[in-house]
Amino acid sequence: PTSANPVDVLIVGGGIGGLSAAFALAREGLRVRVLEQAREFGEVGAGLQIAPNCTRILHDYGLLEEAKGLGVLPKSMVMRDAVDGSELTRLDLGDLEREYGFPYMVIHRSDLHGIFLRACRRAGVDLVTDAHVTGYENTPSGARVLLEDGRADRARVVIAADGLHSVARRLLVEDEPVSSAYVAYRAAVPIEQAGRDVDLSEVSVHVGPRCHFVHYGLRGGEMLNQVAVFQSPKALAGEEDWGTPDELDAAFTATCPDVRAGIPLMWRDRWWRMFDRDPITTWVDGNIALLGDAAHPPLQYMAQGAVMAIEDGWVLAGHVAARRAEDGSVDWRGALAAYEAVRPEHCRRVVETARAWGELWHLDGVARLQRNALLRARDTYDYSFTAWIYGPTALTPEEEPPMFTPIPLDSADVSGVPEPAGT
């Protein structure tokens, strides 16, 4: 990067958050540069669920058809008990699409990342790799970033989309990622290797004591994506070396045959320890703003982490568009303030709900039975718990729908339900 070729916006981090924001701003006619530390742009990991609040934005960007061509539109999302395998509740995703106007999709991470990368190229975003940002500072006319190799770059505004371990976040808060003591194993394998009958028309979630297991199809059903998540006893004991494959095997021994059949397929050479951070309400420091996981890393139980990052860029670009004068100049102070007025509160709700959701999924004993009774009583077509997330992304606090308030567990009548053995 050279200051000889100045841009309006510098974006640090070329993950899904950074690239989608770069595209959104370039689409409004701004000159945008992305600085990515890696040697190449890419995504590790496997599948990603993208709910209607994300596919609505992809549609607005003109990218939904491309995504549909690469992803899968499952017919239903089914939650089952991981111990006895019984169904607890389901979403009819065809009806959900009618309700919200846009589909619920599952897609390979690298495919979604690739869609944004190509869109950025087409929109003329300057995409720079091998650029590790180590420092940020506001200047009278914008902001500057310092790179590890001694270079510097500047722009009117800097957006830090540098993920869970964000350097820029330190401008706003001195906090650390919060360990949940849970770890995720992933696998994306050709469907022939599934070793069992899998209904790829479903996104399936088995919830169990201190563990859960997710699977769904990818790439038009050619691949099976699996995620196995469990609480690590070694993490709870304070050991450094936690989340190892022996713990994976032990965590799922008491689960139903369908779940156990999936465990041997999990990748065993890498795993993802699950961290989030406590929500913060300030994301903007002068001409520097946080976006995506840098601002609001969640536990993944709501499947909204990447979705929130994409929403952030869409909201910011919306406010930029509304504050662009005829000569092309932008009232950045107003745009950043409008962004900060709406996104932190929405993301706080999601981050905190994801924590609560994780607790609900991982219950044991009587609480598990109470949860199961409540979920079984839920009407498939009752959308009261999804409306605040899957509806149109709010541009202002006034547009933000009221949050769903969960029903207390102890309202479930489980008298007469026997406690199953083994839990």
Residues in contact with ligand FAD by the rule CB under 6 A: 12-18, 35-38, 48-49, 131-133, 161-164, 167, 184, 227, 272, 292-293, 300, 303-307, 309
What residue spans of 263-331 are helical by DSSP H? 305-322
H/E element holding 300? Answer: none
Encode burial over 158-185: b for 16+ CB neighbours within 10 A, e otherwise. Answer: bbbbbbeebbbbebbeeeebeebbbbbb
What are the backbone dihedrals phi and psi of residue 142, each rounded to the nearest 5 degrees, phi first? 165, -135
**Distance, CA of 312 to CA of 289 (rounded, Å):** 11
Query: In sequence order, what are the residues at sequence separation of 6 or more whose Cβ sits closer than 8 angstroms to the Cβ of residue 74?
Result: 93, 104, 106, 200, 201, 202, 203, 216, 217
Least distance in angstroms from the C-beta of 276 to ligand FAD: 10
Nearer to ligand FAD, 347 or 414 (CB): 347
User: Least separation, in Å, of the C-beta of 399 and ligand FAD?
Assistant: 21
Nearer to ligand FAD, 194 or 203 (CB): 203
Least distance to ligand FAD from the beta carbon of 38, Å?
5
- The residue (of 30 and 57) whose beta carbon lies closer to ligand FAD is 57
* Cβ count near 394 (within 10 Å): 18
CB 329 to ligand FAD: min, Å? 28
Query: What DSSP designation does 402 have?
Result: P
Whichever of 165 and 376 has its CB closer to ligand FAD, that residue is 165
CA 270 to the chain's CA centroid: 19
Based on the residue annotation, tell me whether 61 is a catalytic residue of this protein: no
Considering 61, 216, 301, 339, which one is annotated as catalytic?
Answer: 216
Nearest residue (CB) to ligand FAD, 287 versus 300: 300
Is the CA virtual torsion 192, 194, 195, 197 positive or negative? Answer: negative
Residue number, 127 or 395, with CB nearest to ligand FAD? 127
| Pairwise CA distance, residues 250 & 175, whole Å | 33
Secondary structure of residue 87 in the 3-state scheme: strand
Q: What b/e readout covers 368-386, taking b as 16+ CB neighbours within 10 angstroms?
A: bbbbbbbbeebeeeebeeb
A 10 A CB-CB count for 275 gives 18
Minimum Å gap between C-beta 26 and ligand FAD is 16
Catalytic sites, residue numbers: 216
